Amino acid sequence: MNADKKVKILATLGPAVEGIEQIRQLVEAGVNLFRLNFSHGEHADHAQRYNWVREVERQLGTPIGILMDLQGPKLRVGRFAEGKVELQRGQALRLDLDSTPGDARRVNLPHPEIIEALQPGMNLLLDDGRLRLQVTAKEHDAVITEVIAGGELSDRKGVNVPEAVLQLSPLTEKDRRDLTFGLELGVDWVALSFVQRPEDILEARALIQGKAALMAKIEKPSAVQKIAEIAQLCDAIMVARGDLGVEVPAENVPRIQKDIIRICRQLGRPVVVATQMLESMRFSPAPTRAEVTDVANAVAEGADAVMLSAETASGDYPLEAVQMMSKIIRQVEGGPDFQSQLDVGRPQAEATASDAISCAIRRISAILPVAALVNYTESGASSLRASRERPKAPILSLTPNLDTARRLSVAWGIYSVVNERLHQVEAVTSTAVEIAQAQGMAQRGDTLVITAGEPFGQPGSTNSLRIETLH
């Protein structure tokens, strides 16, 4: 078990990774879970990659999580009679429901929910924010805008509406088909795009029905404003900085990232920092200094995981990108002030036996040379509470449930082993010692901190702590 880093790596699969051997190399280099991006590729492609990961999981004997990322609604302008137009600053542009090809004076906006939500004074962003329009007037089936930042606009470019909450489900018909397919395949996580409000999480949960854990992608200003409620309702959060950086001023993104990490840690929800982390490694074997600093900052801020997108999905150097990310993580975590920085942001414990024990093991691992914290869990909840404390020692999570082990692959410091022999609390210590040694996490003379609960195997019952020295 390669438990030499606490922060996890989520890597996106795509055409750059062509088989089982490459996936195995990525896992051995530090990947903990994989992302299937349903914005691209056919179901057959995703099924093949899913099966490759499961084969590597079998070969290595290590639980590997698989996340399906739903595309969500894609808002776009219509087509132009000549394929594109040049918009000049200060000119008027009408956006309407007429599907007739447009020109420099008007264009189709085939989304009545956008027209309904817009009001004079609001901004629209086109083509990933390269062009900006401001609404000057509204009609029942159109809005009149003034071009604030102009440029070339071509067919079917994207539209962002940062200042309005759209009466639009985050799940399109395509998403619903993809979700059904992914759940039948057996994915461990579902990432929900276009989250605007807490109700969006409830809608997705009703469809998922507990068959996978739910990760909300935070990419809309309205979701940032409701982050605490959204985080309460889902199982994890992704800071999707690409779309978020279009809809909010770029200079606000670092602060928003810090705030989301802090809130998620307080709630005990894993948080993934995503998008353009090592972007230049799509075409270069080495990252920029700024990218290295970006990854390092996410690690220092206490993120559970960092994500690679195009770097591993379609880039020229997928393995090198993972190796570089692992090096950065280990370098930051090995720093003299890393643990003290995490302790400064330590969340407030709740008045429960589980949180009291989690706080205790954090303190014990800071005082004693603890090789590993061993936790028995059915649902993963007690391991997540231990992870929330960001202890100095790695967390060896023993569970009889393979689904639990795979879902925990995103969480800070947790490394899971599936073990079905544990049925009574008396067996926990001997089994913990045996597995910690077998996984290379402890040897003779090392100290383990072992937690479990009675009634044994009942979620939320963690109430015992044992310090064991291996002889």
Judged on CB neighbours under 10 Å (0-12, 13-18, 19+), 369 is exposed
Q: Which of 8, 24, 35, 241 is catalytic?
A: 35
Catalytic-residue membership of 404: no
Helices (H), 186-252: 198-208, 221-225, 227-233, 241-247
Q: Copy the structure tokens of residue 176.
A: 């619903």
Provide CB contacts within 8 A for 345, sequence distance 6+: 262, 265, 302
Q: Copy the structure tokens of residue 78.
A: 């219509």
b (16+ CB within 10 A) / e for 431-460: bbbebbbebebbeeebbbbbbbbeebbeee
Catalytic-residue membership of 392: no
Alpha-carbon separation of residue 263 from 248, 258, 412 (angstroms): 19, 9, 15
Q: Copy the structure tokens of residue 152.
A: 């070339």
Q: Which of 275, 377, 399, 451 is catalytic?
A: 275
- 73 cis-preceded (ω within 30 degrees of 0): no
Strand order from edge to edge, sheet including 159-160: 106-108, 92-96, 142-149, 131-139, 123-126, 159-160
Alpha-carbon separation of residue 163 from 11, 122, 131, 247, 259 (angstroms): 32, 6, 16, 8, 20
Catalytic-residue membership of 156: no
Catalytic-residue membership of 275: yes
C-alpha span between 448 and 394 (Å, rounded): 10
User: Tokens 């799509």 label which residue?
Assistant: 282
Q: Which of 5, 6, 24, 217 is catalytic?
A: 217
The letter for the amino acid at 120 is P
Quick one: how far is CA 171 from the chain centroid? 18
Backbone angles phi, psi at 289, to 5 degrees: -65, -35
Positions marked active-site: 35, 76, 217, 275
